[in-house]
Amino acid sequence: MSVVDPVMPDLLESEVEADLRSTVRTLLEKRASPAEVLRRTESDEPVDRALWAALIEVGITGLAVPEKLGGAGASWREAAVVGEELGRALAPVPYLGHSMAVAALLAVGDEDLLPELAAGERTATLAVSFSTMPGSASVGTTSVADARTADVLLVPAGTGASAELIAVEASTATITPVISLDMTRPLADIDIDASGGGRVVARGQAACAAVDHALRIGAMLLAAEQVGIADRVLEMTVAYLKERRQFGRIIGSYQVLKHRCADLWVALTQARAVARYAAVCAATDADDLSVAIALAKAHCGPAALRTAEEGVQLHGGIGFTWEHPAHLYLKRAAADAIALGSADRHKATLATLVDIPGPG
């Protein structure tokens, strides 16, 4: 693949994006406090359906959907802003899976289901294993994200010319919860009943391309979420270091701790830049999208995981307690690091895309 000459787009946040971020953050601060998120992980309802309904009223489910199909007529760039804020709060809502389903339907031009999904009248998810990375030949239906609250499952079936993308009513499928490291995003195995019917929304190459596009959009949104995780953890950590005293001194006054936080800030800033570039490429369907997605996933996952790990350590003893949210961020960061392709797999993809020869 040839490398596209970079023409750097405007990565600065627009006024509309800033307003959207403020609205979503304010809502999450009221409805998804760390204590509430922790409490929900210990309940039988890990997904906050009331919060999801409140976010639907804000319009997050139809941001990238054209107005003629009931959406907001915005783009994936605005959707990434929401993803980042949901990551900051570890909000237990099915936004990622729903957005991937919307992306698949947009790719095939489906007009039957999209209006309902854009309006939030129904919730859907792309029924593929959460570890599947864009471009994978095999997707599977084990450990699927956001399946437990979905009304509709978009199920890929077959390969090549016989491939199909089928919209299946979730009520006709067997959805079995599986244990996940990240308690704020439940996973489930899906067993589709062949006699349960379903509507074929795409066949052949169109179906394969739609699934691949949905995985790319999911990876882009996941990178934004990872930026949100790192941002919130660093914010909490710096606040703690500025108030915690030992031996009569604010511990944040020690140079070694300042340097560790500064290193995390640099990594976060770099992650935000590549994640935003991926969002812009997704919004404009740019030729550089594949490179931008691989770069974002290769960088944002390790940045979020490192920040979460350091956040636990820099909080000292309290960071290891169940009541403190540090462990929730660490678990989300660790789970996200292998979701939709690990950093190493995306680095290998990136090397191929930019024609960097491998060893040997």
Is residue 292 within 8 Å of residue 286, measured between CB atoms? yes
Q: What are 234-282's pLDDT values in tens digits?
A: 999 999 999 999 889 999 999 999 999 999 999 999 999 999 999 999 9
Is residue 167 within 8 Å of residue 183, measured between CB atoms? no
Q: With a cut of 50, list the residues of the chain below it in pLDDT.
A: 2
DSSP reduced 3-state for 151: coil
Distance between CA 263 and CA 267 in Å, rounded? 6
Distance between CA 189 and CA 144 in Å, rounded? 6
Closest CA to 130 of 198, 180, 168, 79: 180
Q: What is the pLDDT, as a whole number, of residue 135?
A: 87
Q: What is the pLDDT, as a whole number, of residue 7?
A: 63
Q: Which residues contact 18 (CB under 8 A, 6 or more apart)?
A: none
Q: What is the pLDDT, as a whole number, of residue 357?
A: 79
Q: What is the pLDDT, as a whole number, of residue 137?
A: 73
For residue 280, report the phi and psi dihedrals to the nearest 5 degrees: -65, -40
Q: What is the pLDDT, as a whole number, of residue 178?
A: 94
Is residue 204 within 8 Å of residue 158, measured between CB atoms? no
* Identity of the residue numbered 232: R
Instruction: Strands of 204-307 (E only): list them.
Output: 245-246, 249-250
Q: What is the pLDDT, as a whole number, of residue 111?
A: 93
Q: What's the longest Cα–Cα distance across the chain?
A: 71
Report the DSSP beta bridge partners of residue 159.
none
Closest CA to 47 of 88, 79, 90, 100: 90
Q: What are 196-234's pLDDT values in tens digits?
A: 679 999 999 999 999 999 999 999 999 999 999 999 999
Q: What is the pLDDT, as a whole number, of residue 58?
A: 96
Distance between CA 138 and CA 258 in Å, rounded? 45
